Amino acid sequence: MDKKVTTNDIAKTLGISRGTVSKALNGKADVDQHTRRLIIETAADMGYRRLDKAHYGPSGALPDQTIVLMIREARYGDAYWSLFIKNFEDEIIKANHHFTINVITIENENLLNLPGNFSTHPPSGIVTIGPFKKDYYLKIKSSDIPVVYVDTAPDITDSDILADTILMCNREYVYEMTSHLIKAGHKRLGFLTDYSLCRSFADRWEGFCDALKENNLSIHDDLVFGKKENQHISVENISNWFSSITEFPTAFVCANDFYAVIAKTALLEIGISVPRDLAICGFDNDSSISMLYPQLTSVDSHVEHVARRAFQELLWRIANPDAPYELIKITSTIHYRNSTEGYVF
């Protein structure tokens, strides 16, 4: 016979007090909307028998919402964001809300055009994923529609975020990986990125620089790809760049796993093997990349959790439109694998 679920079980699962759980399940007014909804959904998932969803609807859950997910056309179909969309949609379906995706063309972004139906049928809330230009984020903000940004423009800092924003701890983990390489004996390191693409990449670059500066190591401009205008990642572009390097590093830190695999492929074309001749690491622990190169050192991106957290944050923002903006940073885990650990000095 299944064990009966109690309010104490729910409290332990969520890491909150039993009293808060009881108040939420009994419709008390002194539990905020975000916490109430989380408790009710957790109780339902755990099979709490005394939960009457019809009873808790008005007090515990927001009415049906129309949620819009906005993504750049160039990023639509990307493996990482496709997984985010799937998990985000699962959350929408569980909550019985409505969901649409607006794919933004570069032309509409440059012209600062929001989707046409926003003026006549504005959604209840917006989640943007991947990078847009700062001006476009400002345009979205001007609509006064509750919004959560998952990642943001590289020139938007912590002190001037334009809305609730979710980021990985990008700077911290690249700093830690780079420091690990330095402790292993690497003194000449390179970095592959597209600095202007998004805040995450800018933060990862800063983490790389922090580690080198702390260890009194030089940042070699000739070993950095993606800081100059029109430097875009491809095997051909990286191969051409490699041909200009007179002295290779012993390690490349890459802004994500895709860039790491591109670099590895280009290195093989010129006879440099990873990790025999050079160490390399990425970021995201991308499942589509790990099938191609399972030995890549990388950082978990926790895309499923990020999607869930973005949905929760948007519901909270809809219910609390005047609260201060929140900057949410997601912690992670570094997986050190053979692409770095197999290098021998």
pLDDT for 242-294, tens place per residue? 999 999 999 999 999 999 999 999 999 999 999 999 999 999 999 889 888 99
Rounded Cα distance between 172 and 165, Å, is 17
Check residue 59 and give its pLDDT: 39
pLDDT exceeds cutoff 50 at 60: no
Check residue 298 and give its pLDDT: 98
List, in order of start, the domains of the chain with CATH numbers.
7-60 (1.10.260), 66-168+302-330 (3.40.50.2300), 170-300+334-341 (3.40.50.2300)
Q: What are the tens digits of pLDDT across the range 62-83?
A: 456 789 999 999 888 888 899 9
pLDDT exceeds cutoff 70 at 168: yes
Q: Which is more confidently placed, 216 or 50?
A: 216
Q: Which is more confidently placed, 143 or 41?
A: 143
Rounded Cα distance between 127 and 189, Å, is 36
Per-residue pLDDT band for 57 (boundaries 50, 70, 90) equals very low
Single out the residue of 282, 138, 299 nearest to residue 128, CA to CA.
138
Rounded Cα distance between 46 and 52, Å, is 14
pLDDT exceeds cutoff 70 at 151: yes
Rounded Cα distance between 27 and 58, Å, is 9
Check residue 29 and give its pLDDT: 61
Q: What are the tens digits of pLDDT across the range 88-133?
A: 999 998 888 888 999 999 999 999 999 988 888 889 999 999 889 9
Phi, psi of 133 (to 5 degrees): -70, 155
Phi, psi of 122 (to 5 degrees): -65, 140
- In terms of C-beta density within 10 A (0-12 exposed, 13-18 middle, 19 or more buried), how is residue 204 classed? buried
User: In which residue are the tokens 């997601």 written?
Assistant: 330
At 305 the three-state DSSP class reads: helix
For 304, other C-beta atoms within 10 Å of its C-beta total 15
Check residue 227 and give its pLDDT: 83
Instruction: List alpha helices for 47-147, DSSP H.
Output: 53-60, 79-94, 106-110, 134-142
Share of the chain above pLDDT 70, in %: 93
Q: Which is more confidently placed, 1 or 307?
A: 307
Check residue 39 and give its pLDDT: 83
Distance of alpha carbon 87 from the chain centroid: 13
Check residue 74 and give its pLDDT: 87
Residue 215 to residues 185, 189, 248, 256, 283: CA-CA distances in angstroms? 12, 12, 20, 23, 22
Over the chain, what is the mean pLDDT? 90
pLDDT exceeds cutoff 50 at 54: no
pLDDT exceeds cutoff 90 at 313: yes
Check residue 108 and give its pLDDT: 96
